[in-house]
Amino acid sequence: MESLALTFSSGWASGINAYLVVLVLGVADRLNDFTQVPDVLARWDVLSVAGFLYAMEFIADKIPYIDSSWDAISTAIRPTAGAVIGVLLAGDASTLDQAVLGGVGGGTALLSHLVKASSRLAINSSPEPVTNIGASLAEDVAVFGVVAFAINNPEAAAAIAGVLLAAGLIAMFFIARFIRRGWRKWKKKDPIAASM
């Protein structure tokens, strides 16, 4: 149960910023040698690559439209990272347990990635960069907080990640409805679109 909760939390966080998840888990394991965190995440080469990629994402995530391009590229990376972390958290468990945790990690990462990517598209409709910077910093703080909390309190962190994921999916649904409604109104008013 503890591995499932930690996998869900890290999966949710991986969908937002997979490199920060690896850094938080790896550094925590290096400092305190947590049994639930796989030792491979604390290797210096893994931490170095994750740190470099996190630095790139930290910058790219703050720039309007660059962030959406980065999200498009990360559509394959974030869910894969969530699945791999889930399998690593399963450790020496049975193949079925590894498959379940990999599926939970990857599926949760995919859902949270879709929420992040769609919210960033909506934010990019604003011409100023302040909202992008604020959203990116809030995401980084949330990822760091949930993953760091999940190491010692996996069930509570999973509940928090679940609430955040559900709130994001609900917001995404309403944003999509709002955009669809605006698109239909625009098509009715546009004389060029109406003549086609």
Domain-wise residue ranges, the chain: 2-195
Residue 110 CA to residue 100 CA, distance in Å, equals 15
**Which pLDDT does position 191 carry in this prediction?**
57
CB 139 within 8 A of CB 17: yes
**Which pLDDT does position 178 carry in this prediction?**
77
The mean pLDDT of the chain is: 88
**pLDDT tens by residue, 54-66:** 999 999 988 888 8
**pLDDT tens by residue, 130-174:** 888 999 999 999 999 999 999 999 999 999 999 999 999 998 888
For 37-95, list the strands marked E by DSSP: none
Residue 79 CA to residue 4 CA, distance in Å, equals 16
Q: Write down the residue that tokens 């009715």 correspond to.
A: 188
**Which pLDDT does position 98 carry in this prediction?**
84
Percent of all residues in the chain with a pLDDT value above 70, rounded to a whole number = 93
